[in-house]
Amino acid sequence: MTTAAPETVAATVRAMRRAGAAGEPVPADEVAAWARTFMVQLYGPQKPVRIECRPLYSVEPWIKAEDADVVHARRRKLDIRALYLHPKADKPGKSHRFKNDVCQDCGDGHFYAGPNCEPPAPTPDSRTALPFDPSWFREPLEALQRFASIKIISLSDASKWKRETAYLLERLDQYDKETLA
């Protein structure tokens, strides 16, 4: 079942899953190729910044490891770990403006705000989409606006319908200018 060594981490994981699904033993050289691929692709030429050690199966704090500790880790019964640098975080595109521990722009709290201030997109006005001929509504809207003006209905309903009809008539005029111009 020896195959060519996969070159990417994804291909290696796929090969490992296939081998696991087959349920057969995997040759040691193939496992070594998988490990080599993981090390090269995940760590590449990056050198560890610090190598630490502690006794096996202990909860003691990690201490800096000497070269001899790494070379003779099994004999000295040491657990070894290598710490690598991570890429530096990008500078935020827009900083938060906190007031009373809440960002004034995005509304995130101080403790759970990310590095970038990303205000939510404004909610689109559902009334702006006109998927039909708007001229159909001009006459009924004008009649409704007249009724609201002469107060046949209650004052609160009249003001609401005046606002709505004024907005819709304004949008119709704008639509007519855009389409007829």
Q: What dihedral do alpha carbons 160, 165, 170, 176 form, nearest 10°? A: 160
User: CB 125: neighbour CB atoms within 10 A?
Assistant: 9
Query: Mean pLDDT by 10-residue block, N- to C-terminus, for the chain (181 residues)?
Result: 66 88 90 87 76 92 91 93 70 80 85 77 68 71 76 75 81 79 61
- Alpha-carbon distance of 92 to 78, in angstroms, equals 41
Q: State residue 137's pLDDT score.
A: 75
> How far is 98 from 157, CA to CA, in rounded Å?
40
> Can you give the pLDDT at residue 65?
93
pTM: 0.30
E-strand stretches of 48-95: 50-55, 63-64, 78-83
* pLDDT value, residue 87: 58
At 62 the pLDDT is 92
